[in-house]
Chain A
Amino acid sequence: MIEVMTANYAAAYAVKLARVGVIAAYPITPQSSISEKLAEMYVKGELHGKYFLVESEHSAMSMLIGASYAGARTFTATSSHGLALMHEMLFWAVGARRPIVMAVVARALAPPWNIWGDHMDVMSERDTGWMQFFCENNQETLDTILMAYKISENRSVMLPSMVIEDGFILSHTYEAVDIPDQDEVDDFLPPFDPEWKIDFNDPRRFGGLTMPDWWSEFRYRIALDQEVARKKIVEVDKEFERKFGRSYGGLVEFYNCDDAEVALVLAGSAVGTAKEVSDKMRERGKKVGVVKLKTFRPFPAEELKKLNDMVPVVGVFDRSYTFGYGGALYSEVRNGIYDPAGGALVKNYVGGMGGKDFTPKNMEFIFEDLLRIKKEGKVDKMVEWINIKDGTGRW
């Protein structure tokens, strides 16, 4: 059934379809309409599970960890400061091996206050051990939540997932979304059946003190299981495509890249803009490709290495920044595709932060800049901030 809705509503419908058992949420702009829609569904008796109002995002995540230990499928959603407040419990969810799924409506962190979209919040949680999936549009948000449960709850994975939708650009923008039938979703996503949960007949302790001689081994298991997840993500994406006719490339999608002269790597809603600009520039004979980073963790370094054979110049567009270096995606991509024998030149473009419009014109500028670098054979500077008023930008 196709309906017109925001990505936030699409996320709420995914939660309903996934038959989530325990939802705990705390409102924050621009996530709030997920909390509100779920509350409405709950009151109307449309949800399979229970919905809890908590006093903070920290408690939302804490509650879900408890519920997941009891054996329930769990969901929350947050943004920005809410995600930052959860930070401690994000590590806890991973160490506890609880396959919680969370929608993150990506937003800037204050001060100065700003409620609009960028990727600073999610990039700051890179090292927690959560899987991180970016979404390009509203349909993808719904679909990715369903896939995330399947990947996270796989007994060989048992790691939580963040499904990332760009604040306002997706969260508050209406698009046509195909809502799958409940029967089809039930067939795709079986009930949560964890190997380990609270059992009074087999009492165990979860998360107790572990000395240095064994602690690293628990961390090593997480590292290994992120590698297992890498394979499962691709498998689940293929299975989803067979069942629902939609695929998002699993880890990464190469668009217009086969004969490209330059390519731009990026994640989230800006991918759509980049694809359209790429199509238009090709009409004018400018062969520019787009690399959509669907999955940020586990990071698809092997897949991205192919870029070295495809193009001589790679751009990376960041909606975040790690101060004192460059964009978060940039540092990962450049490191990931590094080839000691040479490889592609890489340049970082930073923009679209705190909700600043990132237009097709801005995107075209990046592609033209990459073509210039290709022609000149060298990168003029490591990082370029786009559309900045202090004179470092070009407008």
Chain B
Amino acid sequence: MVNIPKFTIPKEEYVCKGHSACPGCGTPLALRYTLKALGKRTVLNIPAGCGGVILGVWPSYALKVPVVDNAFECTAAVADGIRAGFDVLGVEDAYVVGWAGDGGTVDIGLQALSAAVDRNANIIYIMLDNEAYMNTGIQKSGCTPIGAWTTTTPVADEKGWNTSPKKRIMEMLVANGIVYGATVNVAFPEDFIARLREAKDIKGTKFIHVLAPCTPGWRIDPKKSIEVARLATQTGIFPLYKVENGRYSLTKEIKNRKPVREYLMLQGRFRHLKEEAINQIQKIVDEEYARLLKKIKDTNE
């Protein structure tokens, strides 16, 4: 007998060729991994943003699962509505996924998401975080990191870039009482799929925060997209962790965190940053990472 290796990533593909994402875009990878984890009986509901646009133009359509498009701020409400409809009609074994961007989640969609968590809506809410309003042309969102250039936080004379920190969406939702939350990164597909498999059959609202690079928005070489995404985790800027009923735990141990400079300097959106600003960002990242480790310690005692 030949010992067949166990693949952790299913072979099935639910994303067809011919979608219109940019080269190096993280979103199609996230879509592929999500649907590989959840399978055929999954419905996505997608608000305004790249997520809808890259699936193609009517009557073409690049997915093998149903999709409901919706308005910008209502992803969690529409998703919970689909679940409600399924429940009263006896449709079982189906996954209802809200598939929104960072702006559609932490800014305009926050109210509906908070209410869905309040109802403990039985949905999987996936936030594709590319750290700005990319579909409308790279404007600052609540997820844009400190130091980043965007078209609405332009750089002039070493000033003017984004100065507000990323909204702590996971902490907001944990405070809100969410049953499951996790961060995943398209550069770590096995972990990505493992988190979704873990989350999918938990009853209640599941929140998955995906880091997905945007090559034109981050000003990166498309072939370096995964390298940059991987560095986000390796530097501790985007640590991979999960929160189950308020208990935090790391899902990816990073032994020796790399300097944030390595991550920042691969991206045109940070190119204006001088030594002092980079050091400042390193300090903030160190503090945030320490806060995370403390939360892990505190919630597991």
Encoded as 1 (CB less than 8 Å from any A CB) or 0, chain B from 103 to 122 comes to: 00000000110110011000
- The digit string for B45-79, where 1 denotes a CB below 8 A from any CB of A, is 10000001101111001011111111101101111
A to B CB contacts below 8 Å, 24 in the list: A21-B88, A50-B87, A55-B112, A58-B74, A58-B77, A62-B81, A63-B77, A66-B77, A67-B81, A67-B85, A68-B85, A70-B81, A70-B84, A70-B86, A88-B71, A89-B74, A200-B43, A203-B65, A203-B66, A206-B68, A207-B70, A208-B56, A209-B56, A211-B58
Is B40 an interface residue, CB under 8 A from the partner?
yes
A72 on the B face (CB < 8 A): yes
Q: What is the minimal beta-carbon distance from A90 to any residue of chain B, in angstroms? A: 11
Contacts of A21 in B (CB 8 A): 85, 88-89
Range of interface residues on A (Cβ < 8 Å): 35 or more
- A66 vs B42: C-alpha distance when bound (angstroms): 14
A283 CB-CB contact with B under 8 Å = no
A63 close to B80 (CB less than 8 A): yes
Contacts A62-B78, A63-B80, A214-B58 given: A71-B68 contact, CB under 8 Å? no
Cβ distance A62 to chain B, nearest Cβ, rounded Å? 4
Which single residue of chain A is at the shortest CB-CB distance from B39?
A200
B209 to chain A, nearest CB (A): 22
Name B118's closest neighbour in chain A (CB-CB).
A55
Expressed in whole angstroms, the minimum distance between the Cβ of B38 and any Cβ of chain A is 11
- Sort A-B residue pairs by CB-CB distance and give the 7 closest, nearest first: A70-B85, A66-B81, A62-B74, A55-B115, A63-B81, A207-B69, A67-B85
Q: Quick check: A203 and B63 within 8 Å, CB to CB?
A: yes
List, in ascending order, chain B residues with CB within 8 A of A331's CB: none
**How many residues belonging to B are interface residues under a CB distance threshold of 8 Å?**
45
- A24 and B85 CA atoms in complex are apart in Å by 11
Whether, in the assembled complex, A247 has its beta carbon less than 8 Å from a beta carbon of chain B, the answer is: no
Query: Main secondary structure on chain A at its contact with chain B?
Result: mixed
Report how far A211 CA is from B60 CA in the complex, Å. 11
Question: Quick one: given A21-B89, A59-B115, A208-B55, are A66 and B82 in contact (CB under 8 Å)?
Answer: yes
Judge whether A205 is part of the interface by a CB distance below 8 angstroms.
yes
- Tell me which of A50, A58, A199, A211 contacts B73 (CB under 8 A): A58
* A59 and B74 form a contact (CB under 8 A): yes
List of B residues within 8 angstroms of A210 by Cβ: 57-58
Contact of B67 with A69 in the complex, beta carbons under 8 Å: no
Q: Does A42 contact B (CB under 8 A)?
A: no
Q: Fill in one digit per residue for B226-259: 1 if any A CB lies within 8 Å of its CB, else 0.
A: 0000000000000000000000000000000000
Complex Cα gap A65–B41 (Å): 20
Q: Which of B43, B52, B76 interacts with A208 by CB under 8 Å?
A: B52
B57, B78, B115: the one contacting A65 at CB < 8 Å is B78
The CA of A200 and the CA of B63, in the complex, are separated in Å by 12
Q: Which of B53, B55, B73, B81 has the most CB of A within 10 A?
A: B81
A365 close to chain B: CB less than 8 A: no
Of residues B55, B57, B74, B112, which shows the largest number of chain A Cβ atoms within 10 Å of its Cβ?
B74
B85 adjacent to A55 (CB under 8 Å)? no
> Is the Cβ of A49 less than 8 Å from the Cβ of B57?
no
A residues in contact with B114, CB < 8 Å: 55
- Report if A63-B84 is in contact (Cβ < 8 Å); known contacts: A52-B119, A200-B94: yes
Given contacts A55-B111, A59-B112, contact A208 B69 (CB under 8 A): yes
| Cα of A22 to Cα of B79 in the assembled complex, Å | 13
In A213-261, which residues have CB < 8 Å from any B CB? Answer: 214
Bound complex: CA A204 to CA B56 (Å): 13
Partner of B82, one of A49, A50, A70: A70
Instruction: Assess the A208–B66 pair: CB atoms within 8 A.
Output: no
Q: Is the CB of A62 within 8 A of B71?
A: yes
What CA separation (Å) do A368 and B217 show in the bound complex? 69
Collect the chain B residues with CB atoms within 8 Å of residue A60's CB.
77
Quick one: which of A53, A64, A65, A204 contacts B119, CB cutoff 8 A? Answer: A53
Query: When the two chains form the complex, which single residue of A52, A55, A206 contacts B67, counting CB atoms closer than 8 Å?
Result: A206
Known contacts A21-B88, A72-B89, A92-B71; decide if A205 and B66 are in contact (CB<8 Å).
yes
CA distance A64 to B63 in the complex (A): 24
Chain A residues with CB under 8 Å of B4's CB are: none
A209 to B94, CA, bound (A): 25
